[in-house]
Amino acid sequence: GTLKKTDNDTNPNARTIEILQSMCDYYTRIGDQWRTLAYRKGINTLRQQTTKITTEEEAYRLPNIGSRLAAKIEEIVTTNSLRRLDYARDEPLDRAFSTFLGIYGVGNAVAQRWLAQGFRTLDDLLGHADLTTNQRLGIDHYDDLNTRIPRAEVTALGAYVTREAALIDPSVELLIGGSYRRGSDSSGDIDFIVTKKGTTSISNDLVTFLEELIRVLTAKGFLVATLAALHSTRRPSKDGPGSKWHGCCVLPPSEYAQLGITREKPIWRRIDFLLVPESQYGAALIYFTGNDIFNRSLRLLASKKRMRLNQRGLYKEVMRGKGRAKVTEGELVEGRDERRIFEILGVKWREPCERWC
């Protein structure tokens, strides 16, 4: 049977998960990767339970839940809160830090620097800090860009883009990856994976297609901001220059109405386009479907089999040269076919909706 994540609203452990998630977010903010991972695994276990876990003993018997996490689960159920979280929240610096991390493109280093400079609120930043164009945009649209996108809206945004794309070049294929492909009822952003049959590299016609799509969607008022332009990569990366575009989009008001949503003004949504040659499509699908923990476990599995998995393909490690000139190189085994990559790795196929961990 398929193991599908239960929806947040119907999960008997929803409240426990919500509080543990806040704790997990806190550990992410302070850069504690080990605890972040432990919490995420525990949360994932709780999501799969069909009954409410109320005691420490019950929790401890589940996979990926250790004694300390089990104790916290009982504390949450009996007190409806977690003391540790209340302490973390009461730190004014932590509050400011997490606010700053909510700004698009802002990471630990920038957020820390602003704290050290004495800034505590978004208004402080707007008034004094030396902001990049993107940071300013991230502050101006802070609430929008921190709101998850309901699945129905992702579907509508996707249909809008696909319709325009087909008018430009019907042979180009577009697919929405990320949490949407995993069946999530909401997504943080929209990740379009764009490919064309027969391509073995990011060919000129793929790039020309995307340039034209962006031009048309901008002219129609659908795309409202560019965060990373197609040719902004300073150093050509391995996927070649001009392989991705990041920006913001809004759904036309008439489309909102069709979804049965009335909205004063449209909400800005984050949207990405990634160009992928067909020869790498399978590996790219795996990578951009995630989730990130599932990706990490597949990569670890590959390395145990002396292979390497990245967003371009599955590679076999081969030794070349002799003596001191000996080097390991990757030889492409499979890139095109998602199922084949699972097969070669020797793992059972998992539908996107089964890739939560």
Residues with catalytic annotation? Answer: 72
Q: Which helix (DSSP H) or strand (DSSP E) does residue 351 occupy?
A: none
Residue (135 or 187) nearer to ligand DTP, CB: 187
| Sequence-separated (6 or more) residues with CB below 8 Å from residue 209 | 165, 168, 169, 172, 194, 196
| Contacting range for ligand DTP; rule: CB under 6 A; set: 79-87, 94-102, 188-196, 222-230 | 188-196
Instruction: Tell me: does residue 187 bind ligand DTP (CB under 6 A).
Output: yes
Instruction: Tell me: does residue 295 bind ligand DTP (CB under 6 A).
Output: yes
Closest distance to ligand DTP from the beta carbon of 310 (Å)? 10
Closest distance to ligand DTP from the beta carbon of 317 (Å)? 20
In the chain, alpha helices (H) = 14-29, 33-47, 56-60, 67-79, 83-90, 92-101, 108-116, 122-128, 133-140, 142-145, 151-168, 178-181, 204-219, 253-258, 281-289, 292-304, 338-345
Query: CB-side exposure of 292: number of CA atoms within 13 Å?
Result: 3
Q: Which helix (DSSP H) or strand (DSSP E) does residue 267 occupy?
A: none
Q: Which helix (DSSP H) or strand (DSSP E) does residue 244 occupy?
A: strand 244-249
Q: How far apart are CA 157 and CA 164, in angstroms?
A: 11
Q: How far apart are CA 191 and CA 354, in angstroms?
A: 19
Q: How far apart are CA 20 and CA 188, in angstroms?
A: 19
Instruction: Tell me: does residue 178 bind ligand DTP (CB under 6 A).
Output: yes
Q: Which residue from 163, 159, 165 is spatially nearest to 212, judged by alpha carbons?
A: 165
Instruction: Tell me: does residue 247 bind ligand DTP (CB under 6 A).
Output: no
Instruction: Tell me: does residue 292 bind ligand DTP (CB under 6 A).
Output: yes
Choose, by CB under 6 A, the member of 242, 290, 335, 352 that binds ligand DTP.
290
Determine the residue with CB nearest ligand DTP. 290
Pairing of strands 307-309, 149-150: unpaired
Instruction: Tell me: does residue 291 bind ligand DTP (CB under 6 A).
Output: yes
Residue (80 or 303) nearer to ligand DTP, CB: 303
Instruction: Tell me: does residue 36 bind ligand DTP (CB under 6 A).
Output: no
Q: How far apart are CA 189 and CA 144, in angstroms?
A: 11
Residue (162 or 311) nearer to ligand DTP, CB: 311
Binding mask 69-108 for ligand DTP (x = CB under 6 A): ----------------------------------------
**Size of residue set near ligand DTP by CB under 6 A:** 13
Instruction: Tell me: does residue 189 bind ligand DTP (CB under 6 A).
Output: yes
Instruction: Tell me: does residue 338 bind ligand DTP (CB under 6 A).
Output: no
Residue (88 or 149) nearer to ligand DTP, CB: 149
Instruction: Tell me: does residue 226 bind ligand DTP (CB under 6 A).
Output: no
Q: How far apart are CA 348 and CA 298, in angstroms?
A: 12
Choose, by CB under 6 A, the member of 27, 39, 268, 288 that binds ligand DTP.
288
Instruction: Tell me: does residue 273 bind ligand DTP (CB under 6 A).
Output: no
Q: Which residue from 125, 127, 95, 126 is spatially nearest to 113, judged by alpha carbons?
A: 125
Binding residues for ligand DTP (CB under 6 A): 178-179, 184, 187-189, 191, 287-288, 290-292, 295
